[in-house]
Amino acid sequence: MKYYILFGPPGAGKGTHAGALAQKYNLKHISTGELLRAEIAAGTELGREAKSLIDKGALVPDSVVEGMIETAFDTIKNVEGFLLDGFPRNLSQASDLDAILAKRGEEVTAVVALMISDETIRTRIKGRAIIEGRADDASDETISNRIKTYHAQTEPLIEYYKKAGKYYECNADLGTIEDNRNRVLALVESIGK
Ligand code: ADP
């Protein structure tokens, strides 16, 4: 099985390009953010607890997202691998993922990173707020906190995966959505060659 991590700051286009990658390589796309929003929409206890953290721009507890990921690995069949989007998001999630995969005799295949500037994060998220109506996209304060959370907790994963020889990056800031998608597809195609 392949285990790709789609990595990048909020607004980098992970969700936008995941479908094309998943289709091309027969992967199941798993977005922890989408799974959490589904819990919120369903009004579950987990959703209620997650909502207050998400609305602040903070991360939900590791155990919550790791449980979702393990359930997905246990239950989803008939794919050639997984495309993880928004997970892992800090160093402990990354080392826990390594352990979860090691138990299965598997490992992370590659990290595909989409890079954009902080300025682009803000303009993309503000545009998306109008289209998707996400509460965590609407407030400047929440966006600022998500940018801070990204730099403090998520960015250190770049070094972690570089050391493991699994880090592949492309620019996702320039050109049209189509241009960016083509860059991402070409990057994944180049991995392992
Ligand atoms: P974005 O890429 O725009 O930040 P996501 O849908 O990936 O959007 O995430 C939305 C929110 O869900 C995050 O700001 C965070 O609060 C929560 N979240 C998603 N994935 C994780 C994770 N792996 N660990 C902790 N919190 C998460």
pLDDT per residue over 149-164, tens digit each? 999 999 999 999 999 9
Q: Whose CA is nearest to atom 15 of ligand 1?
A: 59
Mean pLDDT of 59-75: 97
SS3 2: strand
pLDDT per residue over 1-51, tens digit each? 999 999 999 999 999 999 999 999 999 999 999 999 999 999 999 999 999
**Residue 184 confidence (pLDDT) above 90:** yes
What is the model's pLDDT at position 192?
74
Sort strands 2-7 and 110-115 into parallel, antiparallel or unpaired.
parallel
Mean pLDDT of 89-110: 98
- Residue 58 CA: which ligand 1 atom is closest? 16
**Cα 113 from chain centroid?**
10
* Closest to 9 in 3D by CA, of 96, 95, 112, 121: 121
C-alpha of residue 9 to centroid of ligand 1, in Å? 10
- Ligand 1: residues within 6 Å at CB? 10-11, 14, 31-33, 36, 53-54, 57-60, 65, 86-87, 89, 93, 136, 146
Kindly report the average pLDDT of the chain as a whole number. Answer: 96
SS3 122: helix
146: pLDDT confidence band, cut at 50, 70 and 90? Answer: very high
What is the model's pLDDT at position 87?
98
CB atoms within 10 A of CB 84: 25
Q: Whose CA is nearest to atom 2 of ligand 1?
A: 10
Those residues with Cβ within 8 angstroms of residue 124's Cβ, 6 or more apart along the chain or in another chain? 11, 12, 13, 116
Asked if residues 15 and 84 have their Cβ atoms less than 8 Å apart, the reply is no
